[in-house]
Amino acid sequence: MSSTRISACPCCKSDKFNIFFSSSQCKSISTWQEFFYGSSDFIGDIYACSSCNYRFINTIRDHYERFYKEQILADSSSLDVFRRSYFQKVKGRLLTQFSEVPSNPSILDIGCAKGLWMELWQDKGEVFGSEYSVECIKSLKQKNITVLNQAEIKERKFDVISLFDVLEHIEDPYAYLKQVVESLLPGGLLVLGIPDMGKIMARILGHRYYLVCPMHFSYFERKSIRFLMERLFEPESIIIEKSPIMNADLRGISRWISFMPEIPDKLNFPVPIPYRASLLCFAKKS
């Protein structure tokens, strides 16, 4: 087997890997659309840990950061309503599971996009965001949400740090999360939302599953994310569960699937799924 870019699994530390997918005719990536929404045709190889089934793209494209800066945000007003509803449910779960969250918490949302999650906390907490996209940063500033760079994050401590749909974009999730946890106050909470590659449809479709795309460097399922979280937190402080069931409209889903044409209004019916086919993870720092 050819060499891998990592010597040990970041989740369970195993050094045994299998080839999950490999292509000798990998397409080149030249636009942010191909990076964000391209299929596995744009991926050279994916390896899987033989122990916990964590998967990772082995060949990372150079200078991929530029695609985040080049991304142009489409009109997402209808999707924003959907996302706000999702975040309301996540906030409810967080406050139910961890009643000791301060009444005026300091919250950092990494990869915060337009700040929909932080809008829910602005009236009762101090909110901060971290974001690559130039367009998103403009939107955040208009909402009076403070955007921090990496150096500024290291200078602060937070009650809650959230990463929704972020960890799958990271080359080394353990090293990355270890740094994130250092920015939590004692008793602080980490909130993760990640795609669940253990779902039946993901297993059936394999590398053709819609979430297998060039922008996702890491792929998790319940077992692998449990191993990863237990490297950073006490096992009893970790909660892993399915994301809230939401009615996603077919039009929104179709945008992810191989550049499907726009769904007409009469066919744009709701589809009840766990939000973005995801898992939610909560963990409390000791």
Q: Does domain 75-284 have CATH number 3.40.50.150?
A: yes
| pLDDT (0 to 100) of residue 195 | 95
Start-end of H helices in the chain: 32-37, 65-70, 77-97, 116-119, 134-142, 150-154, 173-182, 200-205, 222-230, 250-254
pLDDT band at 246 (very low <50, low <70, confident <90, very high): low
The reported pTM is: 0.89
- Nearest in space to 182 (alpha carbons), one of 220, 200, 203, 155: 155
Q: What are phi and psi of 106, to 5 degrees?
A: -95, 125
For the stretch 195-207, what's the b/e string if a residue is b when 16 or more beta carbons lie within 10 angstroms of its beta carbon? bbbbbeebeeeee
Decide: residue 24, CB within 10 A, 0-12 exposed, 13-18 middle, 19+ buried.
exposed
Alpha-carbon gap, residue 109 to 112, rounded angstroms: 5
What digits encode the pLDDT tens for the residues 170-204? 999 999 999 999 999 999 999 999 999 999 889 99
Residue recorded with tokens 């139910």: 96
What is the CB neighbour count within 10 angstroms for residue 49? 25
Q: Which residues, including other chains, have CB under 8 Å from residue 111's CB and lie 6 or more apart?
A: 130, 131, 132, 163, 164, 165, 166, 169
Residue recorded with tokens 């490297």: 231
Start-end of H helices in 196-241: 200-205, 222-230
What is the CB neighbour count within 10 angstroms for residue 125? 18
| % of residues, the chain, pLDDT over 90 | 69
